[in-house]
Amino acid sequence: MSDCLFCRIVRGEIPATKVYEDELVLAFKDIRPVAPVHLLVIPKRHIESLVTATSDDAEVLGRMFSVIGKIAAEQGATDGFRTIVNSGRVGGQEVYHLHAHVIGGGAQLPAMIKY
């Protein structure tokens, strides 16, 4: 996915404020933060969405979710955070490279989505 925005960040072609990296996962600050801590945690390998992810992606998905707590605390979300994975059209996904938002570091977040 040569023209994918987040693949380009992984390759260093677009700048990002990286806060964590290992061989499978990259985390960086969201460019339009909605809270004092707003990070995006992504697989380095292009996976479009949770809509299309399969059991072949289990290792990297496991890595993403197992490092989030440590990264969040290091970045200042020391008293909990919210993790959101917008998936597909109904989920409001804008960038079609799977990413987990990690949001916190400030006041109590509002309640879950209400219709």
CB of 95 to Zn ion, least distance (A): 8
Element (H, E) at 67: helix 58-75
99 annotated active-site: yes
Number of residues that bind Zn ion (CB under 5 A): 6
In contact, 29 and 70? CB cutoff 8 Å = no
Size of the site for ligand AMP (CB under 6 A): 12
Parallel, antiparallel or unpaired: strands 25-29 and 37-43: antiparallel
**Owner of token pair 């979710």:** 65
Distance, CA of 6 to CA of 84 (rounded, Å): 17
94 binds ligand AMP (CB under 6 A): yes
Partner from ligand AMP, Zn ion, none binding residue 7, C-beta < 5-8 Å depending on class:
Zn ion
**Which member of 12, 32, 108, 110 binds ligand AMP (CB under 6 A)?**
32
Residue 83 interacting with ligand AMP (CB under 6 A): no
- Measured CA to CA, the distance from residue 75 to residue 22 in angstroms comes to 17
Site for Zn ion in 95-114 (CB under 5 A): 97
Q: Which residues are catalytic?
A: 99
